Amino acid sequence: MRRLPPLTALRAFEAAARHLSFKAAADEVSVTPSAISHEVRLLEDILGCSLFRRRPRPLTLTEAGARLFPVIRGGLDAFAAAAAQVRDGAAQQRLRVTTTNAFAGRWLVPRLPLWREAHPEIALEVIGTDTVIDLAAGNADVAIRYAFAPPPGLATSELLRDRFWPVASPKLLSGGKAIRRPSDLAGYPFVHAWWPETNPHAPTWQRWLSMAQQIDARVLLDMSASGLTFSEELHAIDAVIAGQGIGLFSDVLVAHELATGELVRLIDLALPGFGFYFAHTPDHPRQTIIDAFAEWIGSVGPDQSFRG
């Protein structure tokens, strides 16, 4: 059984220690300085030691008071934060989801109206970043990780797996050289999205052209040497949609444009891509909300979108 001093005494001590003034502590707690002094005396009697040096002025902490102060301050801060969460029902119904900028912008965001229709009581905070956020540290509740294999140490399920196809806008192709085989792509500018050189599975034009050489001996690996390179995949996609060149893109990220005809596949040859993994820490304290989001995102079809 816990034997704790009265909360009023702990609160009075923490305020006085923070301000090093009984008067300032009294103003904060809305009592008299003598009331603060009384509560501090009570705490000292319970602990059997002095917590403040009262003479000479100014007020200072004793060694015991200096050891106790950060512990009491941290505890009161934790109490206040927990009370605020309980008090604010909306805070309990907020789910933080992290994913890549590309998946957030081109897949998740256009479908969020469907989420709001299904669960208007749960607010969603989307953290779009290509940096891997530490779920164990509590920086997000759920991650949709883009990886070749399931991320270790997390509860995961694969939502989607993509392939990378050569695509272009009909605006670029009209009046240009007909594309019947991979070597015909040499007649067009190439658009590159940057991938780390250390990634052996990176879906680059060089890897695609190496594969294309197996069905077309006229393919040269330096065909893609010129053109545009973007460090952000979203910008590369925008450039190809605008008719500035041909791109090698995920069929998940450009599914809308392929369905509407804004982009067309050029050659029936694709590189294998990666998995989009729904991930969270095992036994998460907000598992009920996470399960609701997992059920929703697993039920959203590839053609369901509110993209204009």
Q: For 116-163, how does the pLDDT look when each residue is reduced to its tens digit (9 = 90+)?
A: 999 998 999 999 999 999 999 989 999 999 999 999 999 999 999 999
Are the CB atoms for 72 and 13 separated by under 8 Å? yes
Are the CB atoms for 258 and 251 separated by under 8 Å? yes
CA dihedral 238→244→248→253, nearest 10 degrees, is 20
Dig out the tokens for 303 from the structure.
């053609």
The pLDDT assigned to 107 comes to 95
Dig out the tokens for 208 from the structure.
């695609």
Are the CB atoms for 131 and 143 separated by under 8 Å? no
How far, CA to CA in Å, does 72 sit from each of 21, 75, 236?
17, 5, 54
Q: Where are the beta strands (DSSP E) in the chain?
A: 52-53, 60-61, 94-99, 123-128, 142-147, 155-168, 191-193, 228-230, 247-250, 264-265, 271-280
Q: How confident is the model at residue 83 (pLDDT cuts 50, 70, 90)?
A: confident
Q: How confident is the model at residue 214 (pLDDT cuts 50, 70, 90)?
A: very high
Number of CB atoms found within 10 A of residue 7's CB? 11
pLDDT exceeds 80 at position 305: no
Distance CA 177, CA 164 (A): 22
What structural domains does the chain harbor?
Answer: 7-87 (1.10.10.10), 90-160+275-299 (3.40.190.10), 162-272 (3.40.190.10)
Are the CB atoms for 255 and 82 separated by under 8 Å? no
Q: Which of 107, 142, 139 is nearest to 122 (CA)?
A: 142
Are the CB atoms for 249 and 274 separated by under 8 Å? no
Rounded to two decimals, the pTM is 0.69
Q: Which of 2, 19, 140, 152 is nearest to 73 (CA)?
A: 19
pLDDT exceeds 60 at position 200: yes
At 28-80, the pLDDT tens digits run 999 999 999 999 999 999 899 999 998 877 899 999 999 999 999 998 888 88
Instruction: Return mean pLDDT, the chain.
Output: 91
Number of CB atoms found within 10 A of residue 304's CB? 11
pLDDT exceeds 70 at position 219: yes
Q: What is the DSSP letter of 137?
A: T
**Helix/strand/coil for 95:** strand
**Helix/strand/coil for 7:** helix
